[in-house]
Amino acid sequence: MRSFYDIDQQDVIVGIGGDWDTFALQNDSPSAQAAEVTGYPLWDSVEGFETMSYLNALFFAVRRKGIPLNLRYRCDSPKMARLFNMTISPLRENGLRVEHVQIAPGPHMQHQTAVDFSLHYSPKKCSVCCAFLIGDEWVDPFTLPTTVDFPKGVGLCEHCKKEALNAIAQHDTDLHGKVIPFR
């Protein structure tokens, strides 16, 4: 699976391609098809302040330096873990192309029962690695044999925040190992 979206300098979606619509329909999201989101701000389709901040920081780094940035993330369905690579590349006039390539399907869930932790916890899912905040712990639902939870919100776990900061720091280092200062 390979898809992409292009955004302009104001982060309005101006183009979508690849397997975007097929992926949207396979995931029961007809409202995410290209015709439904093109021409609208990307932020209308992103849930959660932390996820918006995460993407905004990555976009800023690419726009500032003018070179692509690659990160891995999970995009799970209720029955399967999926690993993707996201490449953010600069376009003319401060636009960006965000390409998503599935690099590995994950384990299939062997059951269809969702466990609801809402009586005991305030479930939140990391929008990058798909771990769930259960109490004070970030837990990967695919490591638990009988647990799939659909959280009420999204955020970023500490591991994914550090990965993003490391990727941005490495992105901001020139070929001689010197950090390029913000201008």
Rounded to whole angstroms, how far apart are CA atoms 63 and 76?
A: 28
d(CA 155, CA 74): 13
CA distance 142 to 57: 28
Helix, strand, coil tally for the chain in percent (to 5): 30, 30, 40
Query: Which residue type is seen at 101?
Result: V
Neighbours of 42 (CB within 10 A): 20
pLDDT at 20: 94
Is 180 contained in some domain? Answer: no
What pLDDT is attached to residue 143?
58
pLDDT at site 104: 78
- Which residues form the domain of 149? 2-174
What average pLDDT does this structure show over 110-118? 46
CATH number, domain with residue 145: 3.30.450.20
* 84, part of any domain: yes
Residue 182 falls within a domain, yes or no? no
- Structurally, the chain folds into a number of domains equal to 1
In a domain, residue 183? The reply is no
Report CA 166 to chain centroid distance, whole Å. 16
Residue 34 pLDDT > 70, yes or no? Answer: yes
- In the chain, what is the straight-line distance between the N-terminal and C-terminal CA atoms, in Å? 37
Which tens digit of pLDDT belongs to each residue from 146-176? 444 445 556 677 777 788 888 888 776 654 5
Short-list 75, 124, 122, 120, CA closest to 101: 75
